[in-house]
Each structure stands twice: as C-alpha cells, then as structure tokens.
C-alpha cells in the first residue's frame, strides 16, 4: 500500500494574518499564538516580515529563540536587504526558512515594479541564490501568480528552482481563482517545469470570493503539498485560507483527498481562542470548526437526534477539535430531551416529570429571548431568583474607576460587592484600562477566574440606556450575563458581574451534587 502524502501546514497567522486591520500583535501576543501553533504541531510558522519594522524583527527573533518544533520563517521582498533582515531575525531557530517573493503578473510588473519580464527573471535567479547562501531552506512566491501568464509563470518558477528554492508557493494574492482552475494550474506547473519533482509546491489563497479553503484543497488535488493558512482565516482583506477548516477537511474527508497532515486537531480550538483573546476579536458564532455554533444545536429534532447519536447531525466530534463537547443551545426550538440534559449537566438530579412541569414556562421564556441561559434554567428549576432577576450569590455595591490622564499611574478600579451570606468584600485592582481593572476586581472578590470573551454594548438613544451583554470563559465553560444601565462603564461591569454570578451559582450546584453523590 502506498503511503498517503503529507501536506505541510505553513501557518501565516503572524505575518499575513497580522497584516490585516484589527489584528496587529505585540511581541508577547505573537508569542502566545506561536506557542498555540507549536502545540498544534504546525510544520512552519511564518512569524513576520523582518524588514517591515524593528518590532516585527524582534518578534520573529523572540519566537525563533523560544519556539521548539516548527520551522520558523520570515518573509522578505526579493532584495538583499530584506533577506539579510530575515536571516538575522530567524538566526536563533533550530530550523529556519526564508520566504521571498516578487510580483510576476502584468499588473505587478507594469504598474507596481516597472520591471520587464526579463528583469524579473534575472532578479529571481540572483536573489534567490543570495537567500540560499543565507539559509538552506528558501521558499519563493511569484506574487499574483494566478493572474500571471502561464508560460511566464512557469519560467519564473523554473528560475527559482534553478537558483535553489526548495518550496515554490503559488499565491492567489487577490482571491480570484476557482477550484477547477487552480487544480489545473498546479498540474500544469508540476508536469511542465523542469526540476518540479525536486521541490514542494505550496498554495496560498485569499478569501475575496469566499473560496480560499476550497481553492487550497483543490490545489492539493493538483499536487500541492503545503497549504499556507491562518488561524480563524485571518489575513489581508477577506483573509487567508482558514487553518482549522483546511486541516479538518483533509482529516474528515481523508477518503477523498488521500492526504494527511501532522496537526494535533485537538489543539485547533485552543489556538483559535488564543488568537481571539490576544487580538480582542471574537470568533464569529457561525465560524466553521471553532465557532460557538459549530457543534451547537437548538432545533428540537436535531437535539433529540444528537442526544441519541451525535453522528445524526455531526460529521466531526467537538472533542476532535478541542472543544469541550457538543453544545445544546436552549432556545425556542429546543425540546424536553435537551432541557433535561442541560439540567443534568448543571448538576440537577431532576425527574422527567419535573421537566414536564417547567416546560411550558421554558417555552414562554424562550419566545421572549435569543437564548435561554443556564441561569434562566436554574431559575425555572428552583424557582429561585432575586427580585432583580439576579442568579448567584453576589450583589454589586460600589464601583469606582480611576484613570490618571497624565499616564503616571496604571488605571485601577475599587469594587465592593456583597455576598448573600452578608459578607462584604472590597478589592482595588489595576488593569489595562479601568473596565479591565474592574473585571479583575470582580474576579478576585468572587474567586472566579473569568476571562472576558465577548462584550457587546448598545446605546439605546430613545431610552437613554446602555444594554450590555458579556460572555466570560471560566476554564472550559462559558457563561453569559446581561445588564442595562445609564452609564456605559456601569453597564459593562454589571453584565460581567451577572456572568460571574452565573458561574458561581453553577459551581455551587455542582459542588452540592458531588457532595450528595458521595
Ligand atoms: O498573498 C500573497 O501573495 C502573499 C505573498 C507574500 C505570498 O501574501
Ligand atoms: Zn497573502
């Protein structure tokens, strides 16, 4: 039996991804993501573009020094200065790569570079050789390859191979190609360029027409053995091929693609979360593989099927991508099976009759809101909620937020909260900003190690209020809280407290259930 080909995963979250507006990262943030990528066992990390800025060069060098396992790569334009900067930045890495590129399409040649075809071929031959002297692993990309004349593209690729490039990357820089076209292009290049059998062909797709993943997989069908991709599909404009989607497509449809990767798929969700956390960009709910809804089911028929056998509506296990488990979201489409399952998950030892009893109230509530939260369900099951609708033991008493406009002191918050047992606690905490400080103080008081995951604030001008919704992560679990206040900071903190209160209430119920059982 012939061995399945290995498709390398070249992750460019920290380079192409980081170039996208809203995703720039400090060195320490990049390191968090690089560690998550190494945990996932990606083959190559493109850690940045060394010549772009001293900060980028420093981040690459830090990653090169610290990260073990993946090859560390830096991007360079096709000139000696950029190549020297890359070589210096990746120097501490155990295995390294220089990735160099130049535009080859008529638009790039004429409008941007003002270079003839021959001048570009000469630059490729000379500068790729220069890069090979600096680093024994060189990748070359003819930028905008898809809009380059095929015969000229083949000449450019041949020049890079002859100069010593080991990887030839074919970028769809503007997200223009289609699956059939790119399969055909890879077949053409691999069959016709002299020396093609001695190098790895790579694909790099952008998502302008929403086809980056499909096109990357189609390139694999055409012979590509490296996919350039980014966590959560971030990248220039509409983004790059999404790493988790490409990897899970190859794994789930191994029967069809006949290729394997070395990725530990259980680290995909943690990597997506790490990126989301350090860049403060929530993962869209409906994002394939790692979105909150990817393994969530609300419709009653689906929930019943999934509870009986999750394969009825799932082609992958949530656990396979590192998500805690499939989630049954309670809403107006949910049935009694799901309500019972969630009650048991929350630690309630309830009978089917109890679920029958609360079900009409559950449906009435579900009709009025987007999602029936754990706290809502606890309220229905126990009949317990404070007059203010609060679930959980903590009540906010006072919040003071301090910002030194001169910047001499870090922002801090002083928060006082009261427990149902009458205990009052006050904590003063510093933070990145006053609200961050208040969140940290709330966590310290309630002894709940929460991280804010989503904070939505809506100013309702007609009512003169701010509505806030907060989602927090506590270990593997997520909790939701909402609040309405006149002031935006008060609303944010109150929604956070509501979510922390839910976490505290669920923890108390689970502790009780464990005690009863033992
Ligand atoms: O999209 C692109 O063409 C690139 C190259 C630098 C590979 O990102
Ligand atoms: Zn790109």
User: For 183-219, how does the pLDDT look when each residue is reduced to its tens digit (9 = 90+)?
Assistant: 999 999 999 999 999 999 999 999 999 999 999 999 9
If you measure from the C-alpha of residue 361 to the centroid of ligand 2, how many angstroms do you get, rounded to a whole number?
Answer: 52
Cβ atoms 127, 161 nearer than 8 A? no
Percent helix, percent strand, percent coil in the chain, to nearest 5? 45, 20, 30
Ligand 1: residue whose CA is nearest its atom 2: 173
Cβ atoms 15, 232 nearer than 8 A? no
Is any atom of ligand 1 closer than 6 Å to the C-beta of 82? no
The mean pLDDT of 453-459, rounded to a whole number, is: 84
Is any atom of ligand 1 closer than 6 Å to the C-beta of 141? yes
Is any atom of ligand 1 closer than 6 Å to the C-beta of 101? yes
Q: At residue 516, does pLDDT exceed 70?
A: no
Is any atom of ligand 1 closer than 6 Å to the C-beta of 10? no
Q: At residue 389, does pLDDT exceed 70?
A: no
Ligand 1: residue whose CA is nearest its atom 8: 16
- Among 53-62, 317-326, 329-338, 409-418, name the one with the lowest average pLDDT: 317-326
If you measure from the C-alpha of residue 129 to the centroid of ligand 2, how many angstroms do you get, rounded to a whole number?
Answer: 23
Strand partners, 470: 455, 481
Listed in order, the ranges of the chain carrying CATH 3.30.160.270 are 394-517
pLDDT of residue 386: 41
Calpha distance 292→86 (Å, rounded): 38
Q: How confident is the model at residue 343 (pLDDT cuts 50, 70, 90)?
A: confident
Mean of per-residue pLDDT scores for the chain: 91
Instruction: Output DSSP code: residue 115.
Output: -
Digit-coded pLDDT (tens) for 256-278: 999 999 999 999 999 998 999 88
Strand partners, 171: 204
The mean pLDDT of 347-367, rounded to a whole number, is: 86
Listed in order, the ranges of the chain carrying CATH 3.20.20.70 are 8-279
If you measure from the C-alpha of residue 216 to the centroid of ligand 1, how many angstroms do you get, rounded to a whole number?
Answer: 14
Q: At residue 464, does pLDDT exceed 90?
A: no
Domain 8-279 has CATH 3.20.20.70: yes
pLDDT of residue 502: 83
Task: At 136, give phi and psi (nearest 5°).
Answer: -80, -5
Instruction: Output DSSP code: residue 310.
Output: G
Is any atom of ligand 1 closer than 6 Å to the C-beta of 56? no
Using the atom order of ligand 1, give the atom closest to the CA of residue 16: 8
Cβ atoms 16, 235 nearer than 8 A? yes
> Which has more confidence, 297 or 496?
496
**Lookup: tokens for 9:** 């995963």
Digit-coded pLDDT (tens) for 394-404: 988 999 999 98
Digit-coded pLDDT (tens) for 147-167: 999 999 999 999 999 999 999
CATH class of 394-517: alpha beta
- Among 41-55, 77-91, 476-490, name the one with the lowest average pLDDT: 476-490
Global pTM? 0.77
């Amino acid at each position: 039996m012939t061995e399945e080909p290995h498709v390398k995963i070249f992750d460019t979250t920290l380079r192409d991804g980081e170039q996208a507006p809203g995703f720039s990262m400090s060195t320490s943030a990049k390191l968090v993501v690089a560690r998550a990528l190494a945990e996932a066992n990606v083959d190559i990390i493109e850690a940045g573009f060394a010549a772009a800025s001293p900060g980028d060069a420093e981040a690459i060098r830090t990653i090169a020094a610290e990260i073990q396992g993946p090859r560390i790569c830096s991007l360079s334009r096709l000139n000696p200065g950029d190549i020297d900067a890359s070589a210096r930045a990746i120097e501490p890495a155990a295995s390294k790569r220089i990735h160099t590129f130049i535009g080859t399409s008529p638009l790039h040649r004429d409008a941007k570079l003002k270079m003839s075809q021959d001048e570009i071929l000469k630059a490729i031959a000379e500068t790729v050789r220069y890069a090979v002297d600096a680093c024994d692993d060189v990748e070359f990309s003819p930028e905008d390859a898809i809009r380059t004349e095929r015969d000229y593209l083949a000449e450019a690729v041949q020049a890079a191979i002859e100069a010593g490039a080991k990887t030839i990357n074919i970028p769809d820089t503007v997200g223009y190609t289609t699956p059939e076209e790119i399969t055909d292009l890879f077949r053409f290049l691999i069959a016709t360029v002299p020396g093609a059998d001695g190098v790895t062909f790579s694909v790099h797709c952008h998502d302008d027409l929403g086809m980056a993943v499909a096109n990357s997989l189609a390139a694999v069908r055409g012979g590509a053995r490296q996919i350039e991709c980014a966590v959560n599909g971030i990248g220039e404009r509409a983004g790059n091929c999404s790493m988790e989607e490409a990897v899970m497509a190859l794994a789930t449809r191994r029967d069809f693609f006949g290729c394997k990767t070395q990725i530990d798929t259980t680290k995909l969700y943690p990597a997506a979360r790490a990126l989301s956390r350090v860049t403060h960009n929530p993962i869209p709910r409906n994002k394939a593989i790692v979105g909150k809804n990817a393994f969530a089911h609300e419709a009653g028929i689906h929930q019943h099927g999934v509870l009986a056998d999750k394969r009825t509506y799932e082609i992958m296990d949530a656990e396979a991508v590192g998500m805690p488990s499939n989630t049954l979201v309670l809403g107006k489409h949910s049935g009694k099976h799901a309500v019972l399952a969630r009650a048991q998950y929350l630690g309630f030892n309830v009978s089917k009759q109890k679920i029958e009893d609360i079900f009409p109230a559950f449906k009435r509530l579900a009709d009025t809101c987007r999602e029936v939260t754990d706290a809502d369900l606890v309220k229905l099951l126990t009949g317990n909620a404070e007059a203010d609708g609060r679930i959980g033991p903590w009540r906010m008493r006072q919040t003071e937020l301090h910002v030194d406009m001169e910047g001499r002191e870090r922002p801090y918050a002083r928060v006082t909260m009261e427990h149902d047992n009458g205990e009052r606690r006050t904590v003063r905490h510093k933070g990145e900003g006053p609200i961050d400080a208040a969140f940290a103080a709330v966590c310290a008081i309630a002894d709940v190690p929460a991280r804010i995951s989503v904070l939505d604030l809506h100013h309702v001008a007609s009512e003169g209020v701010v509505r806030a919704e907060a989602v927090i992560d506590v270990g593997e679990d997520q909790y939701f809280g909402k609040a309405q206040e006149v002031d935006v900071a008060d609303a944010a903190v109150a929604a956070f407290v509501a979510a922390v209160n839910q976490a505290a209430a669920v923890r108390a119920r689970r502790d009780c259930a464990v005690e009863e059982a033992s």
